[in-house]
Structure 1
Amino acid sequence: MEQIRTIDSTDLQILQILQEKARIPNAEVARQVGMAPSAVLERIRKLEERGIIEGYEVRLNPGHFGQSLAAFVFVDVDRAGNGSVAGELAAIAGVQEVHQIAGEDGYLVKVRASDPETLGRLLRENFTLIKGVRATRTQIVLSTFKETRRIDLDVAASG
């Protein structure tokens, strides 16, 4: 929470605009916040330097690339095993997210695949061969109602 205190209301406005449409022209951001384009550009540069803005990416429709199947894989790891499990999981093609979690399992991994057979092969040929992985449990997504990396800046500002 320490980080949010160093961001003023103008920075929050800029971040909100960029989260909605990262490709928005700088001049339009400046118009919306009532500042000169050069001042907005400098603020954005500083937000990037401080690591508040980590990058910009395009959201692609996975169905157009034959990856419409989404699944969440709980990975049970040997607690005494090597520490490279997370890195090895992250390196697998089709893996979108790797989270270390509390509870019985060590990691929760989000995977994209073309179909259940491909997912099964991915688990057998990649996940289970990683030293330290004891077992996996997989939940296949039937439909997605919300998927985002956006941060709720209203909540962050009031906290």
Structure 2
Amino acid sequence: MLDEIDLQILHILQEKARIPNAEVARRVGMAPSAVLERIRKLEERGIIEGYEVRLNPGHFGQQLAAFVLVDVDRAGNGSVSGELAAIPGVQEVHQVAGEDGYLVKVRVASAEALGKLLRENFTLIKGVRGTRTHIVLSTFKETRRITLNGTGG
């Protein structure tokens, strides 16, 4: 069970994961050693899965984002999700309800690169019957933050 202090710590870390431990301690009104212990326990329990840097895709020539709906043979290959996840440029793979089996987010350099990715990777996976692609024109919000009880997350 998470208490109010844990939720405050998580809220702070979601805002800025590189914040010094002493600053987190100051904000929650605890000793730095106590905050460090709480963070360690949150990591051990799997509540904090990790820390990562958010890079600007445009600086790496990956300015085009797209969402690909992947139609799969329902009786087919159980390894489709793993094969999709292993494709370079794939950022997310979600199994979804409805007509399609998966929703996949990809980042590539151009429409041509996206076409090549689909032809040379997606369509060659056993069990994939087809794809429908939605190219992102503008992004207004993109985050992995989640809403935390009582904190506005």
2:83 matches 1:88 = yes
1-structure distance, mates of 2:149, 2:119: 43
Count, aligned residues: 152
The 8 Å contact of residues 7 and 151 in structure 2, kept in 1 or not, is answered as: no
* Equivalent residue letter for 1:83: G
* Equivalent residue letter for 1:25: P
Q: CA deviation at 1:155?
A: 6.0
* Equivalent residue letter for 1:66: G
Partner of 1:116: 111
The secondary structure found in structure 1 opposite 2:33 is helix
* TM-score of the aligned structures, taking structure 2 as reference length: 0.97
Q: CA deviation at 1:109?
A: 0.0
Q: CA RMSD in A?
A: 1.2
* TM-score of the aligned structures, taking structure 1 as reference length: 0.94
The 8 Å contact of residues 11 and 151 in structure 2, kept in 1 or not, is answered as: no
Partner of 2:58: 63
Of Structure 1 and Structure 2, which has the larger fraction of its residues in helix? 1
Partner of 1:152: 147
Instruction: Give CA-to-partner distance per residue, 1:33-76, whole Å, 9 cap, x none.
Output: 00000000000000000000000000000000000000000000
Partner of 1:54: 49
Identity, % of aligned positions: 84
Runs of 4+ in 1 over 3 A off after TM superposition: 154-157
2:121 matches 1:126 = yes
The secondary structure found in structure 1 opposite 2:58 is helix
1-structure distance, mates of 2:87, 2:76: 19
Partner of 1:137: 132
The 8 Å contact of residues 8 and 151 in structure 2, kept in 1 or not, is answered as: no
Partner of 1:37: 32
- Correspondence for 2:5 among 4, 10, 13: 10
Structure 2 unaligned blocks of 5 or more: none
